[in-house]
Amino acid sequence: MNIQIRKLSLKDYNGLIDSMTQAYGGIGGLWTRNNIKDLITLFPDGQLCVIVDSRVVACALAIIIDSQKTDITDPYREIIAGGTFSTHDPEGDVLYGIEIFVHPEFRDLRLGRRLYDARKELCEHWNLKGILVGGRLPKYHENAELTPRQYIDKVKLKEIYDPALTFQLANDFHVKKILKNYLPGDTESLEFATLLEWNNIYYDPKTKAASQTKQTIRLGLVQWQMRTFQDVEAFYEQVEFFVDAVSGYGADFALFPEFFNTPLMGAYNHLPTTEAMRELAKLTEVTKQYIQRLAVSYNVNIIAGSMPFLDEANKLYNVSYLCQRNGRTDEYRKVHITPNETKYYGMYGGDQVRVFDTDCGKVGILICYDVEFPELGRILADQGLKMLFVPFLTDTQNGYTRVRNCAQARAIENECYVAIAGSVGNLPKVNNMDIQYAQSAVFTPSDFAFPTNAVKAEATPNAEMVLVVDVDLNLLKELNRYGTVQNLTDRRRDLYRVSLIK
């Protein structure tokens, strides 16, 4: 027999539901695939399962809550926000167990204890105060002549065996409160339950958890002047100048514009624009590696604008690279290609939309035209987006206005920060890149904690400069929970849904 405890994945869903059905015998509902997907997306570390010979036989699901802001005596459905889990707070202080079960055929293997031990280790790793769980009383209906308190006391004295409460007490949990109407329809428990607590004796309120992230993030936006360069080395020198500048101000992120390397196309101006862009794409890999080294050496995460990229099938893409200061590189391929990109360059659209984990939280990248499609921003928000970076390239004020106004809308509707950075100046020696118009900016949601015009800061229009801006992630958390309006929470999930097809 091979027993393994690991993080739950969506591919485990069918086995999970089979075991849950056997464990509960028809009491309560079953978690949907979307429920499990949401939990794994929000808090992958908290979703655990036990695999026995390739079979899912036990599971523990959890979220993190803020004990000061969450009424832990609320009914179960309210604490999990009706199955949306919007109460999950990655910067909270308590692990809340929302589910644990073991398939009846495997209960003699003490798998429940293994899962609780794994939860305790998780709690210590995240430096949380403790664990809270709501516990059923499945044998209470057989002792209904007793009050809930009398029943609990007899279980503590081992005069009555309750499969749930006895197990939890044996795992160092103590009863904190008796809950009424905790799980409607639970006739075995007569709808009573216990609120149980395990205290983490290693909790240190002065120490941040290893997985917590910074809350005040400094952004450095490069409003790039299009100019001719004598060679690639001169281009690299200009890039390093700006990286050095934003790093000197202690920035966590540096954002460059879309196609900021197109001045290098001047060497291929004698070629048709399609071929010139493909020649430029041959420089992308070495440029990416160069910028990645800058990210590490200057200790700043760099969104390397965007550059053309040729894949193995000889298809041309518009790609942005997130070069992280820990040495990791992620990429995003522009999904929506403009008519001009298709006409002049023959570009293809990417097919992945996802957030990226950084040391400052979850971020997303949308390239220029992409931000004009609200579906992408909403999908990223559902994945936990806090900051959205938009490198753009616009030649006229009309084009810039589209990007700006749509970026502001994404910030408001998705309760996140949006940073946009573009290029300025003229580039007469590169076909189809003649003129530029830009005013880089950082946009916020619109509520009392933010600027009244929802603009955190903006650059001088059409002037080369660096915009350095601090954003506070705590304000997003407060907005999500206590905002005047709550765009994410108040969505009618019973009526509509925005999701990826592939």
Active site residues: 258, 334, 368
Residue 42 to residue 214: CA distance in whole angstroms:
18
Euclidean distance between CA atoms 358 and 366, whole angstroms: 16
For residue 307, which amino acid is it?
Answer: M
Question: Kind of pairing, strands 301-303 and 316-323?
Answer: antiparallel
Q: What's the Cα-to-Cα distance from 490 to each of 80, 395, 406, 495, rounded to whole Å? A: 15, 38, 21, 12
The separation between CA 373 and the C-alpha centre of its own chain, rounded to angstroms, equals 19
How far apart CA 291 and CA 311 sit, in angstroms, is 20
CA distance 306 to 325: 18
Instruction: Give the residue from 119, 93, 122 showing the smallest Cα distance to 171.
Output: 119
CA 343-230-248 angle, 5° bins: 95
Mark 326-352 as b/e (b = at least 16 C-beta within 10 Å).
Answer: eeeebbbbbbbbbeebeebbebbebee
E strand spans, 353-453: 356-358, 361-365, 387-391, 417-421, 423-424, 441-443
Structure tokens at 163: 């499969």
- Asked whether 246 and 220 are in contact (CB, 8 A), the reply is yes
Closest CA to 182 of 230, 254, 133, 116: 133
Which of 197, 152, 160, 164 shows the shortest CA–CA distance to 27?
164
Q: What are phi and psi of 3, to 5 degrees?
A: -110, 130
Specify the DSSP class assigned to residue 435: B
